[in-house]
Amino acid sequence: MKFIGDQIAIGNIPVTELAAEYGTPTYVYDEQKIRANYRRAYQAFAKHYPDFKMFYAVKCCNNPAIVNIMRQEGAGADCASVNEILLAKSVGLSGENVMFSGNFLSDSDIRQGLESGVIFNLDDISILPRLLKFGTPEMLSFRVNPGYGKSNVGEYVTNAGPGAKFGIHPDQVMDAYRMAKAAGIKRFGAHMMTGSCITDADYFPFVTGLLMDIIGKVAKELQIDFEFIDLGGGLGIPYKPGEPALDLEKAAEKTAEVFRKKTAEYGMKPPQLKMEPARFFVGNAGYLIGTVHSIKDSYSRIIGTDIGMNVLARPAMYGSYHHIYVNGKESHPRTKLGLCGQLCENTDFWVKERDLPADIAEGDLIVVENAGAYGFGMSYQYNGRLRAAEVLVNGDKSMLIRDREQFEDMIRHTHVPEYLKK
């Protein structure tokens, strides 16, 4: 995003033009920024550990156009469900370029995951006996909970540690790999959830050391040559103005240093190092354009827009912050205002006491920053308010990559028994 005078542009296209062509609310992604983010992250780690591979966590933003950008850049796909595996396959990713990291899997999930031929990453030891009833995967990984987790975006998204639902307890990891080896599985990897939106560079080598102390002991006792170790995602972006950014170079250098040291300490054959970020690639490359429709003066002044919690769920769901700009008025005097959507829920009043231009008016365009990660993917239908359009911008060009939902989409796949029509 940039300013041309007092007008906001994404890529080289003013948001007024994007809103006029595609309507609002609309998610807009800057392709050039996505590619630059990916290359920066990849090069930072590969420079210090050449046998390095990145997977894109599809759940973050599942538009096939975005997944294709990641594929073109060299990323595999980290999939949380069978449907995400199918999405990855639809863009040409398959086999060991796809990691299946679902949790609390059903028998159907397990069977289809095995049939897909992707890397199976089990979230718990209890799933292994059920998996073996359907077949024996060529390669198996377990997700390890290293006992410690961290999040910059709230405790609800702290994905490791005692309060998290993800991963195997450290005391069970040895037994998990012992069972898998006894079942005849020959090839192994290991995985963890590093954290969520971490901007502390020192955290990554710290948590890598925790994982490697667990996996190193497994490798040594069970004589397993781990083919890869996946550190998960967690590379963070700043959401608030003035918030320090992640020192990516430091995080990469120190993490690779700990990784090499621990493999040597436990006598491990150096495995491939994997990571599966997504927010770092698309978070700050995505924007949400909305329109001010109504202004209410009540106990406070509330700005009503077409961006509700059904369009952007994160603020209402767990109090996340997204910076808001008002096109053409960012240099104007400011006052504290609230902002809400159009839903019949008070949690839709998702911004309160925010400094915004005092002369904001009906018809103004607002732009929500850092909306590329867990934006559209977490949106939903409610009150007859339907999902937004998605647009990809590449320099001077814009392309519709998802249609705006219509009424027909709301009732699609519903069935009314004949007696109810009388």
Residues involved in catalysis: 344
Question: Cα(224)–Cα(268) distance, rounded to whole angstroms?
Answer: 9
Q: Is the peptide bond before 25 cis (omega within 30 degrees of 0)?
A: yes
Burial of 66: CB neighbours in 10 Å, binned 0-12, 13-18, 19+: buried
Burial state string for 105-122 with b = 16 or more CB within 10 A and e = fewer than 16: beeebbbbbbebbbbbbb
Distances (CA, A) of 13 to 282, 319, 365: 19, 31, 14
